Amino acid sequence: MELFDDQEFQVYTVSEITRDIKTTLETCLPTLWIEGEISNFVHHRSGHLYFSLKDADAQIACVVWRTRASALRFIPADGMKILALGNIRVYEKRGTYQLDCLRLVSAGVGELQLAFERLKDRLYREGLFDPQHKKPLPVFPQQIGIVTSATGAAIRDIVQVLRRRFPGIGIVLRPTLVQGEGAAADLVAAIGEFNQFGGVDVIIVGRGGGSLEDLWSFNEEIVARAIYDSKLPIVSAVGHEIDFTISDFVADLRAPTPSAAAELVVPDRREWLERLSSLRRRLLRQVEHSHLIAVQKIERIRDSYAFRQPQERLRQLEQHIDDLYDQIFRSMQRRLVGARQCLQAHRQRLQDIHPRTILQRGYCLVWHQGRQEFALSARALQPGDDVHLSFSDADTAARIGATGLPSHLSTIFPPNSGESDEKTDL
């Protein structure tokens, strides 16, 4: 093809030039570390991780395939500064290059340390470190369970301290791996066996000191949850005093060293013997003091006037009783007189209002035989009505006359002179 002054140029298709670029970049650039800040992070539903690494002047696309993403000890996030180990690859469909990441490490913080902090934060939010879930240690355990290596220095230190502080204490060792592959699962199994078969009152889980990698089995989530789910109280004794693991935060008690754990789970026999001796001495002093007080009290009673002159004291009491009897008798007499007077007054009042008393004053009751009721006025009587008259001394029957008065009473109640006959009717 001739173009521009008969010069010949090779023409590439997009696929051809992209393939050449891909070959050049991928073969010429070695596996390398790139440091930068994560941005545009996407955790795809396929499991792959996509993000960009950037600095102040540029950025590069990155990808972590699903098979490698599952092995990461932390989840990347926007704004995180990391070191990425990988190879430059060209994505032909888009004509872009990207870093195919083999490993991610937090810049400035080790990978294991970052995983430790993230797991610690997550378990804290779940409440696994909450003090209200901590189980108290028994004051006088009879059997101590130990989960550690059978050949390490930790078991020797623990046994030595236990024997020194409380000789005769029962010790049950469940040997386990304490680092490396399979150690976390072995620790979980040991804790489960002690909870299943019992026989111990408290468990010590731990090992001697080491690097973060050496202690990592005690930072595994499965170990933390096994400690949290344990029905038996657990003391975590991992590493040296400056070493902290996830197990320390979940356990019911954290001991700075295995030797310190042994001191925490059993009392010092000599200290308790001294304490018991001190209590015995205090008890004896208290008994002696109480006995002395009781003797003094008895002597005071014995020397008192009542014991020196018992007959005189009895006479005084008898006289006091007589005085009280007289007071009660006089009080009852006054009450009785008052009650009789009140009764007499009520009796007189009842007599005054008794119907017979009223009739004795010259009155009578008129009972209408027909209507079977008392006649309360003269208007209630008609000539010819049969009535029954009740006087104070006797009763009699009568009939109302034409004048309105009973015929046999007409002489007793003559009509008033000058008044008409109608006014004499009852």
Contact 188, 223 (CB under 8 A): yes
The predicted structure's pLDDT at residue 405 = 53
- Percent of the chain topping pLDDT 90: 45
In this predicted structure, the answer to whether residue 424 has a pLDDT above a threshold of 50 is no
* Domains identified in the chain and CATH numbers: 14-108 (2.40.50.140), 141-267 (3.40.50.960), 359-424 (no CATH)
Q: Per-residue confidence at 193, pLDDT binned at 50, 70, 90?
A: very high
How wide is the angle at C-alpha 194 spanned by C-alphas 188 and 236, nearest 5°? 60
Lowest mean pLDDT segment, chosen from 268-277, 363-372, 412-421: 412-421
Token code pair at residue 415 = 């009509």
Q: Measured between alpha carbons, how far is 365 from 359 in angstroms, rounded to an integer?
A: 8
106 vs 33: which has the higher pLDDT: 33
Rounded alpha-carbon distances, angstroms, from residue 290 to 232, 280, 395: 45, 15, 94
Taking 3-state DSSP, the helix, strand and coil percentages for the chain, each rounded to the nearest 5, stand at 45, 20, 35
Quote the CA–CA distance of 395 and 88 in Å, as a whole number. 144
Query: Alpha-carbon distance 93 to 196, whole Å?
Result: 58
Long-range CB contacts (within 8 A, 24+) of 118-127: 118/74, 118/75, 119/219, 119/221, 119/224, 119/246, 120/246, 120/249, 123/221, 123/224, 123/246, 123/249, 123/250, 124/249
What is the rounded CA–CA span in Å between residue 399 and residue 405? 8
pLDDT in tens, 328-343: 999 999 999 999 999 9
Q: Where are the beta strands (DSSP E) in 276-422?
A: 365-368, 373-374, 386-390, 395-399
The pLDDT of residue 202 is 96
Alpha carbons 305 and 414: distance in angstroms, whole number: 96
pLDDT at 425: 38
Please, which pLDDT band fits residue 61 given cuts at 50, 70 and 90? very high
- What is the pLDDT of the chain when averaged over all its residues? 85
Q: What is the pLDDT of residues 199-241, one digit of tens each?
A: 899 999 999 888 777 888 999 999 999 999 999 999 999 988 7
**Is residue 411 very low, low, confident or very high in pLDDT (cuts 50, 70, 90)?**
very low
**For residue 309, pLDDT beyond 80:** no
Most confident of the ranges 36-45, 75-84, 397-406? 36-45
CA pair distance 426, 420, nearest whole angstrom: 13
CA atoms within 13 A on the CB side of 345: 6
d(CA 177, CA 215): 11
pLDDT band at 305 (very low <50, low <70, confident <90, very high): low
Q: Determine the average pLDDT of the residues in 166-185.
A: 92
At residue 108, the pLDDT reads 58
CA 328 from centroid of its chain's CA atoms: 61
User: What is the average per-residue pLDDT within 2-18?
Assistant: 73
Helix locations, 179-268, DSSP H: 183-197, 221-229, 246-250, 258-265
Q: Is the pLDDT of residue 395 over 60?
A: yes
Across residues 294-323, what is the average pLDDT?
79
